Chain A
Amino acid sequence: MIKPAISLFLSALVFTAADTYAQEHEPSAPLPDNEASSMGVVIAAKGGAVLTMPRGTFPSIIVGESGEGTGDFPGGDSRTATGYRWGVAMLIPFNKSLGLSLDVGSMLHAADYQATATHPALLYRAQTAQLGVGLQGNIYTNPRTFWSSKSGVGGEGLRAIYLDGGVDIGLATVANRVEVTRTDSVGQQQTTTGSFENNEPFRTPVALRFSAGLRYAFSPHIELQVESGYSLAFNSVFSSTVLQNNNFTVDHLFVGLGLGYRW
């Protein structure tokens, strides 16, 4: 009785596998017009909100030709500040479940400190040119979203859920701005603005990036990307040749959307 049972089980297994394989490859014959490849490159316009969480101490600064020092800004006085990020993202698949992800864009982030008895309020903003490089792996894929029938049925729906990990590099600080707000003796708030004149004070920031997202297909070639990620900074914002013993770093949480084309 055991041998027929094993044979039946193996037959069922082969049948199931063959049926699954057939379902995955069924459209390859008649519908080349409306078909994207799961191995196709994806290029997307991507953007979203950035929440910045500073770590360490923002250094005491002098704003203006004859200003006075602000005092240090401990990390405990910071508030989560919002910015944004936009750019172009690219996915180059190695196979159906793993690919190289590239991301080039611009990020505006901020560090916000509330006033205390030892320092005024501070809002520091910087815009950096970013390059992200990582590996993206699908934990779910729906092969039916890569093709539609001649009548236009199919080719839409949840296409993939993925995890992404890599590095996020700030290639250059494009612009920066500091706003220091003091309360004078009569209770009026006075805001002084300033900027670091050049890139000498800044390091090239490198962060470890983890993200998770999904791809939703509107058609075989057009897909929406929804992604959330976290960047954990490796190094401090300010160069050690300019400012010694400073550990001010910025981590970012990104939530965004992308609209892409898949070949």
Chain B
Amino acid sequence: MACVVSAGFVSCMEESPNPVVFDQVLQSTTVRNRLLTPVIIFRNSAPIDTLPARTDRSYALGQKGVFRHAWRILAPIGIDGKPAGIEPTGELGIQYAINAEYTIENDDAPGGTIFTPRVANLTGHDLNLTANYQEDDEFRSTLVIARNQNIQLTHSPYFYWNSSSNIVLDEIGGPGIYYFKRDTTGDGGRSRFLQIDDSTSSYNGAGLTMPLVAF
């Protein structure tokens, strides 16, 4: 008998890939989007809605059967017409509850925790944003943060959060470069601190960083 380790426990029973659900009518699916970006909601691989940032919405179901839900980030578009952040797809799994509730937070993304930089551009130039510069998951976006403006918190770009995450802001047409890192020790004061803001209850689960001020 083959045994496998699953969730820290030894299992000696082979599970079937065939799903089992209860023979009951499922009434609704509620999704809470805690991210600062719209997400596309899928039911059995078909999109059913685009849920705006920081919004809850219920979707009627009224049927029996196997229903799988998923979500995908809709990243803002850069000036090159391409997504200016990652767009991972997260699985919510088979719905078992008659009225199911799912919450999408920054640590629910497949591949790891994600974050979005809270940038205040107080310079006289537009800024261009690069995340995780010189890391394996470097993302050079063409998102422009206009001079004397904050980054939009209703449609923010997301990136993977790792031990070396950083944000680089380049002045477009100017000489300035602003560098924010998680670990600023030993770099002679060239960078500033990058940290997810867990203390602001109104942005819990969003993965928003503490303000990154370029001036």
User: Which residues of chain A have a CB within 8 Å of any CB of chain B?
Assistant: 59-66, 69-71, 106, 108, 125, 127, 129, 172, 174-178, 192-198, 200-201, 238, 241-244
Contacts and interface: CB of A to CB of B under 8 A. Distances in A.
A103 to B, nearest CB: 15
Given A59-B22, A60-B22, A176 B96 contact: no
A242 B97 contact: yes
Contacts of A198: 93-94, 96
B11 A195 contact: no
19 contacts: A59-B22, A63-B18, A106-B12, A127-B11, A127-B13, A129-B9, A172-B9, A175-B13, A176-B15, A177-B16, A178-B16, A193-B18, A195-B15, A195-B16, A196-B19, A197-B93, A198-B94, A200-B93, A243-B22
Q: Tell me if A's interface is mostly helix, strand, loop or mixed.
A: strand
A256 B14 CA distance: 24
B96 to A, nearest CB: 5
A62 B21 CA distance: 5
Contacts of A59: 22-24
A221 to B, nearest CB: 28
A59 B18 CA distance: 18
B7 A61 contact: no
Contacts of B96: 196, 198, 200-201, 242-243
Given A62-B65, A242-B98, A244-B98, A201 B11 contact: no
A175 B15 contact: yes
A61 B23 contact: yes
Interface string B113-144: 00000000000000000000000000000000
Contacts of A193: 16, 18
A198 to B, nearest CB: 6
A194 B6 contact: no
Nearest to B94: A197
Nearest to A84: B12
Contacts of A65: 18-19, 65-66
Contacts of B190: none
Given A69-B64, A172-B9, A175-B11, A64 B18 contact: yes
B60 interface: no
B12 A62 contact: no
B19 A64 contact: yes
Contact of B22 (A61, A64, A71): A61
Nearest to A176: B15
Chain B CB within 10 A, most for which of A62, A198, A243: A62
B46 interface: no
Interface in B71-113: 93-94, 96-98
Interface in B160-204: none
Contacts of A71: 23
Contact of B20 (A63, A127, A174, A242): A63
A71 B23 CA distance: 8
A172 B96 CA distance: 17
Chain B CB within 10 A, most for which of A59, A66, A71, A200: A200
Nearest to A238: B22
A69 B97 CA distance: 17
B177 to A, nearest CB: 46
Contacts of A63: 18-20
Contact of A127 (B12, B16, B17, B18): B12
B199 to A, nearest CB: 31
B23 A177 contact: no
A216 B14 CA distance: 37
B128 to A, nearest CB: 42
